[in-house]
Structure 1
């Protein structure tokens, strides 16, 4: 049992990765649609590339979205508006007219017969209530069809223009009087009917909406059917018109209805295999090309978390409405990975994620093409993410690439730009704006996962930070040395395309361990007294080499990131404290190199290798007497060649060509420091 526990403990990192692999696979498969995929790919206007296709089963031909939309539009336009009638209103108005008529026209009977005026009044009432008077105005078209309900029974239908609006009553009165040559009685009739006339119609919105929904529910979403074994399309035949719609119908039927519960498990198993293969490729890439990332469980978790998060968000958007899929800022993924790791890992993870999303989104090929191109542009254009202008420029380029690629695909599919959906360009712009969220996201990830990006490095490079201020006060010579080394390292890193910000920050903090015993280092000795004179060579060497260990302790106490601590650990590699080694050898004739060697490790990146070169060159350059270009060239060559011969750069991924470029930069910088003129040939 004890051996079993020990085995588990020794392999706990691999066990964790296996569990992470399993959980991520299960999560992604759970998010995937659980239907089959149509095995054929086709595009409108393109020849059918596969073998001739016969219907594998009976299925209905589905109408296009445009056809269904047109039917719905026609139903909406022809839908009836329903109004409730109050029949008692007209009776009440007629009775009121009878009682008010004599009082109104008692002094005018001598000018016209009472009978004619009375009949005209009744005619006005009949005209007003022929269809009815509305209780309020509505914003409907005049030619809109209407139906009048008495209770739940339809008693009359017509058009909205037949109904009398409240403000049209005087006009109706005037028209009837004019037809009867009684226009001069207008004032009297208007005054009479002003208090009598009441609306008898009210709009029944609930009944109208219900009737409309009933009509819409009767729409058929299919038009005809295809019998089993009917030839659908022959090889080489152009897919267009009805052929295209039949194929789309078969594809939809295939993905939604063919897959029963009996083969659901097979589909699940197949999805699991594909997702597992993709994630396995990512694991193999990390193990082979990024072993340090692979060995760090936090970083591996971070990578898998981001991939799962993007798939989750995209799945939610597709389930809500697939037309919004291009709003999801997929290009945040390579941006984040490039900020914390490198461009190659960012692009590799991005491509794998897009391949997985191909199972979720419609128009898989178009989506994969657009997102892959956008990811490549992201990797190629974004440099120095901590500079805000660079991010804005890159996001603009990414958005432009989206628009151009989508436009090209649309023209290929449709053959024209007449039906181009301009709103999709708005989605791409919103996607670009969402990509800008990468800055606060990186900050959040730094706090959650303890990672370091160039944005944090920029903050650490501030010489007004607490630790660098302390270094400047306690060991001013070391601080000045660190500034000079930082300038040399930054220039060298820029020359060979390394991370200049990381090299600069590493150089600023590489000697903070000297704060513990500052006077034991020559750059801080201002009185002319050297405390090493009272120590043995071994003791002096121990104090010198201990500044690496002390630096690591101070760095951890001040929460410096591991990427910066790596520079403190490696800036001397496993080299000798040569001065005290020779002093010991001269005094005792025999000296053990291990007593005078730095603990290491050797530099294991371009940036840490650059720091070792620049640190040695800057420190040793103080001993140059009467420097000239010849001396400087020989000086730089000797120091760096010696480091190469000692194998200090064997673990760093730096080439001889890059070392030569760094030498060139250092020679040029030292020449500027010592104000040397270029020697022209005579």
Structure 2
């Protein structure tokens, strides 16, 4: 049991990767739509590239969504509209009119006028006329055209009527004025008109229940098919153009597969196929990291970060496929390469992105079009997104990505439709929205830095600000070290540019590599402004201990100020496992028999990246150049050669992925920069 536990402990990193791999694969398969993939790829307007296709079974030809929608619209327009006639309203209106009329007549002193009762009867007759024809409420639904037949329901009796025969609210006032014009004098006309305008209310109302019931019966009678294809019947021949009826039959066959082939009975096999395909894709990503990005592969946090980002993008796309397929292109999948490139490199970004797009190709409609469009957009993202710490760069890159989406979609549409007369402008809106959402990558980069402890160029830019708290303290307490760090940063930046290393990372690491000297600044020569040297009162062993200690103290100080681990790596490795040679030689002279080389050696580790190797070379070269009494071109060349060759002979670069050619390039840059610093001229022969 103990041996098993020990073996698990020894292989915990591999076990974790296997666990992560399984979880991500099954999660992706779970997010995929529950159905198979039609075995034929076809597009409208393109030739059929397979052999002659015969119907594998009997199936019906399905109507298109447009045809069904049009048929539903026609039935809706033709369906019967019901209105309800309410009889008690007429009596209530007449009662109110009589009451208001009598009050108005009395107020105006017209009670004894001979025409008062005659005009009252005229108004009552008008009310009866209006309600007999039907005063219809049009606030909810209008019957349609004035000549359309509608049904009027009086309790349980139903009768037909032309909608235009009823009186609408817009017609009431003109009808009153026309009726009273020649029958009632002006004074009474005004009174009657005002009262009728107040008391008249509709007595015919739209009957939603009966209307919807009738419409529902009509819609239920719609046939969703328009023909049948028999077994072995030729559907399409090789080379035929996929259009018209052939396209409809192919789409119908594709839908029929969902009901006849992709059933629960054989879904296990479909699921197995998906698991194999997704496992191969994610396995290729893991293999790529193992063979080509060993430092990422060995870091479980970074592997988790890459896998979870792929999973997140797959989840968002599959969610959109299930909910609103027409909005598929609004999901900003180009966030993945932007984020990956911010933390790693272009190759990691492209590899992970392409594998994600290929996996989504299993489940998206028009998979070829989708894969092509997203691949081109991904290439543009990788090639254009750089230095995202500069505000304008990401904005310009997103505009380019959006334009590529639009142009690619336009090209596909022209190929499919043969023109742009009916192009859907909504897709251009979706691509524009996709571009806007791509700016979320800035927020995600910040969030991932907090969650995974990763470092982006944005953070490096902030850290490289010499007004930051720790660098300001270094400048105040150890000004000589600060100037040395600045010079080393300039050298390292130029060298990193030369060999295509991470410039921002190496510059920032160089600025912080000697922060441990803050605690004992006067024990380092660059901070000694007087002739007093505190090492004169110490033994060589104690002096070496203080010098070596600045790396340990620097690491502790960096952790206190919460510097990222990638910056702390420069503090750990900038001296590797080299000797504090000056004090070692001094101890050899004083105590040759008892000297222990390990007491004068830095604890390491040795550099393990191009960037840390660059810093080691630049740091040693800049410090040693200060000891040259006559910094001639020859002296500088000789000094740099000796320093770098010594580091190589001590095996300081063995763990890093830096080549001999790159080391030579770094040496060349250092020599050139130091000659510029010391204004060295070429030595001509005498």
What is the TM-score with the length of structure 2 in the denominator?
Answer: 0.88
| 1:86 equivalent in alignment to 2:74 | no
Superposed displacement of residue 91, structure 1: 7.2
Q: 1:648 aligns with which of 640, 652, 660?
A: 652
Q: What is the rounded CA distance, in whole Å, between the counterparts of 2:685 and 2:113 in structure 1?
A: 131
Change (3 A) 1:389 1:95: closer
Q: Does 1:216 align with 2:219?
A: yes
Name the CA distance, whole Å, in 2 between partners of 1:472 and 1:679: 37
Per the alignment, residue 602 of structure 1 pairs with: 606
Displacement of 1:596 in angstroms is: 3.8
Secondary structure at the aligned position of 2:151 is classed as strand
> Aligned residue for 1:134?
136
1:254 matched to which residue of 2? 257
- Please state how far the C-alpha of 1:251 moved relative to its aligned partner: 0.7
Cα distance in 2 between the residues matched to 1:563 and 1:533: 36
The CA distance in 2 between the partners of 1:3 and 1:667, in whole Å, is 55
Of 636, 640, 643, which aligns to 1:639?
A: 643
Q: Work out the CA distance in 2 between the residues paired with 1:210 and 1:641.
A: 93
Task: Provide Cα deviations, 1:323-351, integer angstroms capped at 9, x if missing partner.
Answer: 11111111111122222222211111111
Aligned pairs, how many? 672
8 Å CA contact 1:120–1:176 kept in 2: the answer is no
SS of corresponding position for 2:629: coil
- For 1:24, the equivalent position in structure 2 comes to 24
Q: Judging changes above 3 Å, is the alpha-carbon distance between structure 1 residues 544 and 204 closer, same or farther for their aligned structure 2 residues?
A: same
Q: Distance in 2 between matches of 1:606 and 1:365?
A: 40
Tell me the equivalent position of 1:419.
422
Change in CA separation of 1:23 and 1:142 when aligned onto 2, cut-off 3 Å: closer
Number of the residue aligned with 2:675: 671
Query: Contact 2:499/2:666 (CA < 8 Å) preserved in 1?
Result: yes
Q: Aligned equivalents of 2:165 and 2:187: distance in 1? A: 25
Aligned to 2:65: 65
CA distance in 1 between partners of 2:561 and 2:135 (Å):
84
CA drift of 1:12 comes to 1.6
- Tell me the CA shift for residue 130 of structure 1: 5.8
**CA shift digits 1:253-299 (9 cap, x unpaired):** 11344222221211111111111111111111111112222222222
Q: Does 1:74 align with 2:77?
A: no
Mapped contact 2:33–2:322 kept (Cα < 8 A): no
Comparing 257-266 with 659-668, greater Cα deviation is found at 659-668
Show CA shifts across 1:334-380 (max 9, x none): 12222222221111111111122223322222112222221221111
Answering whether residue 150 of structure 2 is matched by residue 149 of structure 1, we say no
Aligned in 2, Cα 1:197/1:500: closer, same or farther, shift over 3 Å? closer
Is the contact made by 1:170 and 1:190 (CA closer than 8 Å) also made in structure 2? no
Name the residue aligned to 2:13: 13
Q: Which residue of 1 aligns with 2:506?
A: 503
Q: Which residue number in structure 1 is paired with residue 386 of structure 2?
A: 383
Cα distance in 2 for residues equivalent to 1:104 and 1:242: 81
How many angstroms apart in 1 are the aligned matches of 2:655 and 2:93?
Answer: 105
For 1:603-640, what per-residue CA distance to the aligned partner results, in whole angstroms no more than 9, with x for missing partners?
Answer: 22221121112111211121223434454444444433
Q: Secondary structure at the match of 1:148?
A: strand
1:452 counterpart residue number: 455
3-state DSSP class of the match of 1:75? Answer: helix
Contact kept? 1:492, 1:610, Cα under 8 Å: yes
Q: CA–CA distance in 1 between the matches of 2:27 and 2:474? A: 49
CA distance in 1, matches of 2:191, 2:447: 76
Equivalent in 235, 239, 258 of residue 238 of structure 2: 235
Give the secondary-structure state (helix, strand or coil) at the position aligned to 2:607: coil
When residues 198 and 19 of structure 1 are mapped into structure 2, their CA distance, relative to the original with a 3 A threshold, is: closer
* 1:352 counterpart = 2:355: yes
Match of 2:467 in 1: 464
1:628–1:205 Cα change, 3 Å: farther
Tell me how far apart the structure 2 counterparts of residues 143 and 470 of structure 1 sit (CA, whole Å).
84
* d(CA) in 2 for partners of 1:78, 1:150: 22
Aligned residue for 2:105?
Answer: none
How far did residue 594 of structure 1 move?
Answer: 4.8
